[in-house]
């Protein structure tokens, strides 16, 4: 813990930790020592971790990287961060992210960008660690903590993992409790670990998840010993390669990475089959209707009354002006854009044309996966991202669709509620890490982790 606290102090340039909690960390580290001395050895005992700013942590600033939550000190602890603390993990502080987890580059954070510790060849250009869990990815990659929590609504664990050479798993929807995690799109949001290895991911996921009566969508299922399932034996497993993920204009390096990964799994004894997930092309538009719709509803609670920031009012301003000024000043551009899109697609005149249509297409996307699994596929291998990490400002705010295209391989997994993992498997010609994604059957994270283990 002390070594990590020192490393964090020396890494301000990465802007990964946005609230540091050294006192809490040292206190918990001592408590962990005491537990070990008592002969107790919980799975995360004494392991220093970072917590994404989206998780409410009791008495510690939890701002979802937004101005609107300025000064908010939760009176409760999220179930996931509590589970980690119960397992002995030591919280070092809170990690940078895109505002309300909306973004793929950490550029929408009120704290400014988190920076990727990797560099493109000899260039000085600062690169994004991806998003929205960019601070988590940067901190793990730069050895500021041993592991970190992330959340993933459309790829926010897997894309930053791929951009930083770390491992990130989004479990099946319902595996981790969402209680105490600031809501973005409730039917898609899941927490998960971001770590240096698949084994670490298995240990940390087990500590994070489990049934929670405080979240009605949390599954009442036993949590397996994921680490014990890491045998590396994938003989006889069937791996599907979906043809719809082969995009026009995809960089050769990504093609190469994907075929190398396929070859590795084949060499390890897996059977490789070509599959089709025909509704894949509708996934991005479907996600960018459903996620903003749910966000616009979830973000209605930030009204200047209950939480954090309230705009300064002038004589004669009424409650409407208070709402308007607070929300105009408190939310950044991307969040405002999502609230407007969401409100529009949910409005009486457009509900059927957009929101209901998107829900129907979501079902078709889910069915594509169900059919593949019913035909005997155990896991699906795809690239995690369409490129390596890009430079700050290279994909600008003027063109949101360009940024949304980053999520092309990851959003299907959230729409279908499936587990997905990003594993670093190569580098591009400038030496930047690249990752592959494996998608598994619902609730079979153990199997998925084991396949990822064979790929690592
Ligand atoms: N990049 C996607 C978005 O901006 C996904 C974000 C996430 O998974 N939280 O919505």
Write down the pLDDT at residue 380.
98
Nearest alpha carbon, ligand 1 atom 5: 154
Sign of CA dihedral 200, 119, 191, 285: negative
Do 86 and 181 share a domain, yes or no? Answer: yes
Do the Cβ atoms of 19 and 59 come closer than 8 Å? Answer: no
Residue 198 has pLDDT above 90, yes or no: yes
How do residues 365-380 score in pLDDT, each as one tens digit?
999 999 999 999 999 9
Tally of CB atoms within 10 A around 249: 5
Q: Is-catalytic flag, 78?
A: no
Do 332 and 244 share a domain, yes or no? Answer: no
Query: Cα(304)–Cα(72) distance, rounded to whole angstroms?
Result: 12
Do the Cβ atoms of 163 and 201 come closer than 8 Å? Answer: no
Mean pLDDT of 335-362: 97
In a domain, 161, yes or no: yes
In a domain, 133, yes or no: yes
Do 305 and 418 share a domain, yes or no? Answer: no
Looking at the DSSP assignment, which residues form a beta bridge with residue 439? Answer: 380, 420
Mean pLDDT of 7-27: 98
Q: Which of the two residues, 393 and 409, has the higher pLDDT score?
A: 409
CATH number for the domain spanning 422: value is 3.90.1300.10
Q: Is 71 exposed, middle or buried (0-12, 13-18, 19+ CB in 10 A)?
A: exposed
Q: Is-catalytic flag, 81?
A: no
Write down the pLDDT at residue 231.
97
Do 313 and 378 share a domain, yes or no? Answer: no
Do 105 and 50 share a domain, yes or no? Answer: yes
In a domain, 300, yes or no: yes
Catalytic residue among 81, 138, 156, 177: 156
How do residues 132-158 score in pLDDT, each as one tens digit?
999 999 999 999 999 999 999 999 999
Q: Confidence class of residue 398 from pLDDT cuts 50, 70 and 90?
A: confident
In a domain, 364, yes or no: no
Mean pLDDT of 155-177: 98
Mean pLDDT of 24-45: 97
How do residues 211-255 score in pLDDT, each as one tens digit?
999 999 999 999 999 999 999 999 999 999 999 999 988 899 999
* Whole-number percent of the chain with pLDDT over 90: 96
Do the Cβ atoms of 175 and 445 come closer than 8 Å? Answer: yes
Mutate to test the pocket of ligand 1, among 156, 299, 336 (most ligand atoms within 8 A of CB): 156
Mean pLDDT of 21-36: 98
Do 40 and 183 share a domain, yes or no? Answer: yes
In a domain, 384, yes or no: yes
Tell me which of 352, 379, 403 is where a domain ends. 352
Do 315 and 415 share a domain, yes or no? Answer: no
Residue 59 has pLDDT above 80, yes or no: yes
In a domain, 116, yes or no: yes
How do residues 413-440 score in pLDDT, each as one tens digit?
999 999 999 999 999 999 999 999 999 9
Write down the pLDDT at residue 402.
83
Average pLDDT, the chain: 97
In a domain, 59, yes or no: yes
Do 64 and 41 share a domain, yes or no? Answer: yes
How do residues 343-354 score in pLDDT, each as one tens digit?
999 999 999 999
Query: Cα(136)–Cα(156) distance, rounded to whole angstroms?
Result: 10
Nearest CA-CA partner of 151 in 105, 191, 109: 191
Mutate to test the pocket of ligand 1, among 95, 185, 291, 334 (most ligand atoms within 8 A of CB): 291
In a domain, 420, yes or no: yes
The domain total for the chain is 2
Do 377 and 338 share a domain, yes or no? Answer: no
Do 230 and 193 share a domain, yes or no? Answer: yes
Do 332 and 382 share a domain, yes or no? Answer: no
Atom of ligand 1 nearest to the CA of 334: 4
Write down the pLDDT at residue 397.
65
Tell me which of 296, 319, 352 is where a domain ends. 352
Do 213 and 310 share a domain, yes or no? Answer: no
Range of the domain at 318: 285-352
């Amino acid at each position: 813990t002390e070594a990590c606290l020192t490393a964090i102090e020396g890494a301000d340039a990465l802007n990964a930790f946005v609230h540091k909690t050294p006192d809490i960390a040292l206190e918990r580290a001592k408590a962990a020592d005491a537990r070990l001395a008592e002969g107790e050895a919980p799975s995360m005992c004494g392991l220093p971790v970072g917590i994404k700013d989206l998780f409410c942590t009791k008495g510690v600033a939890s701002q979802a990287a937004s101005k609107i939550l300025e000064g908010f000190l939760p009176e409760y602890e999220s179930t996931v961060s509590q589970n980690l603390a119960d397992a002995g993990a030591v919280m070092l502080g809170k990690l940078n992210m895109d505002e309300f987890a909306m973004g793929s580059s950490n550029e929408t954070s009120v704290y400014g960008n988190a920076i990727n510790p990797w560099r493109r060849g000899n260039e000085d250009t600062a690169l994004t660690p991806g998003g929205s869990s960019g601070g988590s990815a940067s901190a793990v990659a730069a050895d500021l903590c041993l592991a970190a929590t992330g959340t993933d609504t459309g790829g926010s664990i897997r894309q930053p993992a791929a951009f930083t050479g770390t491992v990130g798993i989004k479990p099946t929807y319902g595996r981790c409790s969402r209680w105490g995690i600031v809501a973005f799109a409730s039917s898609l949001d899941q927490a998960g670990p971001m770590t240096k290895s698949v084994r670490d991911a298995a240990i940390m996921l087990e500590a994070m998840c489990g049934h929670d009566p405080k979240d009605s969508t949390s599954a009442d299922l036993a949590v397996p010993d994921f680490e014990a399932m890491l045998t590396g034996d994938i003989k006889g497993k069937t791996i599907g390669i979906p043809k719809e993920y082969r995009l026009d204009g995809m960089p050769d390096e990504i093609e190469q990475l994907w075929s190398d990964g396929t070859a590795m799994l084949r060499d390890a004894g897996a059977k490789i089959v070509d599959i089709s997930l025909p509704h894949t092309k509708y996934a991005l538009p479907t996600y960018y209707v459903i996620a903003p719709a749910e966000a616009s509803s979830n973000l209605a609670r930030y009204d200047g009354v209950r939480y954090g920031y309230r705009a300064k009012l002038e004589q004669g301003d009424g409650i409407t002006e208070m709402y308007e000024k607070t929300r105009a000043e408190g939310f950044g551009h991307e969040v405002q854009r999502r609230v407007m899109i969401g409100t529009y697609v949910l409005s009486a005149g457009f509900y059927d044309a957009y929101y209901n249509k998107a829900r129907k297409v979501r079902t078709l996307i889910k069915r594509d996966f169900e059919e593949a699994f019913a035909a005997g596929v155990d896991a699906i291998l795809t690239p995690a991202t369409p490129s390596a990490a890009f430079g700050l400002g290279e994909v600008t705010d003027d063109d949101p669709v360009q940024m949304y295209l980053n999520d092309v391989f990851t959003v299907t997994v959230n729409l279908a509620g499936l587990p997905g993992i990003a594993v670093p498997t190569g580098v591009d010609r400038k030496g930047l890490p690249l990752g592959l994604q494996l998608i598994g059957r619902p609730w079979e994270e153990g199997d998925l982790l084991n396949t990822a283990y064979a790929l690592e």
